[in-house]
Amino acid sequence: MGIWTVEKLETKLIGYRRHLHAHPELSGEEHETTKTIRKWLRDDGIRLADYPLKTGVVAEIGGLRGGPVIAIRADIDALPVQEETELPFASQSPGIMHACGHDVHTAILLGAAQLLKERESELEGTVRLLFQPNEEKAKGAGQVIQSGALEGVSAVFGLHNKPDLPVGTIGIKAGPLMAAADGFAIHVEGRGSHAAVPEASIDAIVASAHIITALQSVVSRNVSSLDSAVVSVTKLNSGTAWNVIADKADLEGTLRTFREDVRAKVRQRFEQVVTGVGAALGALSSVRWISGPPAVVNDPLWAERSIRTARSLGLTVVEPAPSPAGEDFAFYLEKTPGIFFFLGTAGPEEWHHPKFDADEAALPIGASFFAALAVDAIAALKEEREGGAIRARSARSVGETVAGGGWGDA
Ligand code: NI
């Protein structure tokens, strides 16, 4: 499938994207977005699948002759950001903006759906389209999995726009691509007093200051220079008046890691520092973790296959630097192999910026790559199964037992 076949789609995809951009909805509240996507899919004759989701849409193409099931996913939610782009199709909802480009992702998946629909009779498997809600709160992937929409899926694919990559470039990387994103809340309990009588107090602000400073040593002294981690304290609430020593403090922030062993070690050292340093200053301090998605870890075989597909479309493939941002696509990859890749969108600003935008020329490229990836993935899975069946037959002929491979419809 060449890019040229989708050029006629470009106008339509730009229309989809601009409509979505003008009408953004926050995570978990994507009711109108859901209705709109369902309508567009129905208008194009695409089969909606019935999974119990409050928001978000699942649809299917193919499967007329059985075969493997693969899934492609786009996230559909927006952010609580006041848009500052001055685009003619800027957000009509004050304080809400598609500042991460999920409008772009949704339009791309709709485009892929149309391309695959044109070839439905040739498809030797099923493509399940996941229009996932609630990504920014890292809850939507779990909701989709819980709905059963990942059951029977042999490979899963997702993308994120990448403002710093040029249009026509795909970023594919085997292994960790995006970070595990944990949140933390620290509570420091001291004792208040008159500001002029500090000896009667356990100063929660002084204890917090020491804790924050000591936390800076966790990454620099406990993580190998060959690995990486980020600890950021982003919020500190304490005190009530200029002449009162604060009795308590609440701190918040985030931890980002790319490997589970590093994640576990940093969390352990972090807790020791918080409780130990707090105790040294007489305060009682504790940590509460808000566990986010694990790292996005791409399957090496699917990465290799995807690179081949991208090159077959004449796209430039680069190996991107991992991003310390989190992405709940990680939950799918924990259950099903696949890849999450970056699509070059040559934007003026990074994700979550009030002037975020994307070059719309990337829309048909993303759609054609998604569609080609789906077709190639089904072919690869079919080949794998047939290869497995041949191996099983020849093994049986020499009296061996071989565990069945494939996707279970054999
Ligand atoms: Ni995003």
pLDDT tens figures, 310-363: 999 999 999 999 998 999 999 999 999 999 999 999 999 999 999 999 999 999
pLDDT greater than 80 at residue 134: yes
Q: What CA–CA distance (Å, rounded) separates 290 from 305?
A: 35
Q: Using the 8-state DSSP alphabet, how is residue 257 labeled?
A: E
404 in the Ramachandran plot: left (φ > 0), alpha (ψ -120 to 50) or beta? beta
33 & 128 share domain: yes
The kind and range of the H/E element at 159 are strand 153-162
Domain that holds residue 210: 180-290
Cα(328) to ligand 1 centroid in Å equals 9
Class of residue 4 by CB neighbours under 10 A (exposed 0-12, middle 13-18, buried 19+)? exposed
162 & 228 share domain: no
Q: What CA–CA distance (Å, rounded) separates 216 from 229?
A: 11
pLDDT, average across residues 269-278: 98
Cα(287) to ligand 1 centroid in Å equals 28
Cα(38) to ligand 1 centroid in Å equals 21
pLDDT greater than 90 at residue 6: no
Of 290, 307, 335, the last residue of a domain is 290
Which pLDDT band holds residue 36 (cuts at 50, 70, 90)?
A: very high
397 within domain boundaries:
no
26 & 169 share domain: yes
pLDDT at 410: 33
Residue 352 sits in a domain of what CATH number?
3.40.630.10
Nearest-CA neighbor of 77 among 137, 4, 120? 137
Spatial neighbors of 88 by CB under 8 A, at least 6 apart, are none
95 within domain boundaries:
yes
Whether the CA torsion 132, 133, 139, 145 is positive or negative: it is negative
pLDDT at 180: 94
Q: What CA–CA distance (Å, rounded) separates 99 from 286?
A: 34
Tokens in use for 196?
């002029």
When mean pLDDT is compared across 54-63, 281-290, 398-407, the lowest value belongs to 398-407
Which pLDDT band holds residue 65 (cuts at 50, 70, 90)?
A: confident
169 & 219 share domain: no
302 within domain boundaries:
yes
Q: What CA–CA distance (Å, rounded) separates 80 from 237?
A: 22
> Structurally, how many domains does the chain consist of?
2
Contact 98, 40 (CB under 8 A): no
pLDDT at 390: 66
Of 290, 324, 341, the last residue of a domain is 290
Q: What CA–CA distance (Å, rounded) separates 46 from 40?
A: 9
Residue 237 sits in a domain of what CATH number?
3.30.70.360
278 & 306 share domain: no
Of 264, 290, 316, the last residue of a domain is 290
Which pLDDT band holds residue 104 (cuts at 50, 70, 90)?
A: very high
167 & 250 share domain: no
Please give the angle made by the CA atoms of 222, 224 and 229, to the nearest 5 degrees. Answer: 75
pLDDT, average across residues 109-119: 95
Count CB-CB contacts under 10 A for residue 137: 13
* Three-class SS state of 231: strand
Cα(79) to ligand 1 centroid in Å equals 9
161 & 212 share domain: no
* Three-class SS state of 344: strand
117 & 161 share domain: yes
Please give the angle made by the CA atoms of 334, 335 and 336, to the nearest 5 degrees. Answer: 105
13 & 141 share domain: yes
Average per-residue pLDDT in the chain? 92
pLDDT at 391: 64
Whether this prediction's pTM lies above 0.95 is answered by no
Q: What is the pLDDT of residues 209-263, one digit of tens each?
A: 999 999 999 999 999 999 999 999 999 999 999 999 999 999 999 999 999 999 9
pLDDT, average across residues 53-77: 95
Cα(75) to ligand 1 centroid in Å equals 8
Cα(295) to ligand 1 centroid in Å equals 15
* Three-class SS state of 95: coil
Cα(160) to ligand 1 centroid in Å equals 6
1 within domain boundaries:
no
188 & 166 share domain: no
Cα(330) to ligand 1 centroid in Å equals 13
333 within domain boundaries:
yes
Cα(193) to ligand 1 centroid in Å equals 46
pLDDT greater than 50 at residue 121: yes
Percent of the chain's residues with pLDDT above 90: 89
65 & 142 share domain: yes
Class of residue 18 by CB neighbours under 10 A (exposed 0-12, middle 13-18, buried 19+)? middle
Amino acid at 31: H
235 & 326 share domain: no
Q: What is the pLDDT of residues 385-408, one digit of tens each?
A: 887 766 666 655 554 443 333 333
pLDDT at 393: 60
Cα(244) to ligand 1 centroid in Å equals 43
234 within domain boundaries:
yes
61 within domain boundaries:
yes
334 within domain boundaries:
yes
pLDDT at 1: 45
Cα(254) to ligand 1 centroid in Å equals 17
Class of residue 319 by CB neighbours under 10 A (exposed 0-12, middle 13-18, buried 19+)? exposed
